[in-house]
């Protein structure tokens, strides 16, 4: 139910976007802690699953820029009946990058929201601050949340109404200058011996111009 991971990471690269070109070297000691009391990896019905990670890339170890990347996510599951035919599930995730300005951080290290494992209904990595042309540039902080009601109609078929919300922010901590984007949808589950096969259809509630009218997702296992 409890585990700790740590290591040494070295990365050197170059990223380029509308904010400019960043030549970077990151040398750090990523550390993560996980707690999991759920009853299933792919289809939890009871318990809590939480992960917190921090990755410092200090300048004295040779990093340029010197940043600290932190992220935490927790989800909880509550069965309303003994057979777990009715399950409520919720998820909350937050992230923060400190130590450098947004244009000094490599674009691949910034936070983005949107997509099947984030805010369904919006394009993958599309929710963040944007440049003058409306293209996502990523952020230094992130907040996401999801709520699902998992209902088994039969032993093999289930439906899941859900709501997702979230976005990334330019500041190192969520200041809510960006609009929280919300999506709602309905999922179909086919339960197999190895876990549920998931089909989700999501619709943006407060879309921006150019956002899709709907999005479809197929995968093995629950969304979280």
Say what the pTM is.
0.91
| CB-based contacts of 155, cutoff 8 Å, min separation 6 | 191
What pLDDT does 221 receive?
94
CB count within 10 Å of CB 97 equals 24
**Helix or strand or coil: residue 62?**
coil
Give backbone dihedrals phi and psi of 2, rounded to 5 degrees, phi first: -135, 130
CA distance readout (Å), 95 to 89, 92, 188: 21, 11, 30
Shortest CA distance to 204 belongs to which of 134, 128, 114, 144? 114
Q: Could you report the per-residue pLDDT of 154-197, keeping only the tens digit for each?
A: 999 999 999 999 999 999 999 999 999 999 999 999 999 989 99
Question: Mean of the per-residue pLDDT values for the chain?
Answer: 96
Q: What is the mean pLDDT of each run of 10 residues along the chain (224 residues)?
A: 96 94 97 97 96 97 96 98 96 98 96 96 96 94 98 97 98 95 98 94 96 96 95
């Amino acid at each position: 139910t409890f585990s700790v991971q740590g290591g040494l990471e070295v990365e050197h690269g170059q990223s380029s976007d509308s904010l400019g070109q960043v030549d970077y070297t990151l040398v750090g000691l990523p550390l993560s802690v996980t707690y999991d009391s759920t009853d299933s990896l792919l289809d939890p019905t009871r318990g809590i699953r939480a992960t917190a990670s921090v990755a410092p890339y200090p300048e004295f170890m040779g990093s340029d820029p010197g940043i600290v990347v932190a992220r935490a996510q927790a989800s909880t599951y509550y069965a309303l009946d003994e057979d777990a035919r009715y399950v409520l599930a919720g998820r909350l995730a937050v992230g923060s990058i400190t130590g450098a300005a947004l244009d000094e951080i490599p674009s691949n290290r910034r936070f983005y929201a949107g997509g099947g494992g984030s805010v369904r209904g919006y394009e993958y990595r599309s929710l963040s601050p944007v440049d003058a042309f409306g293209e996502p540039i990523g952020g230094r902080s992130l907040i996401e949340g999801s709520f699902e009601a998992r209902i088994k109609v039969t032993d093999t078929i289930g439906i899941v109404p859900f709501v997702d919300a979230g976005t990334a922010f330019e500041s190192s901590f969520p200041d809510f200058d960006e609009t929280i984007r919300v999506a709602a949808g309905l999922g179909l589950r086919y339960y197999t011996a190895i876990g549920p096969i998931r089909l989700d259809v999501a619709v943006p509630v407060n879309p921006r111009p150019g956002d899709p009218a709907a999005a479809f997702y197929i995968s093995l296992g629950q969304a979280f």
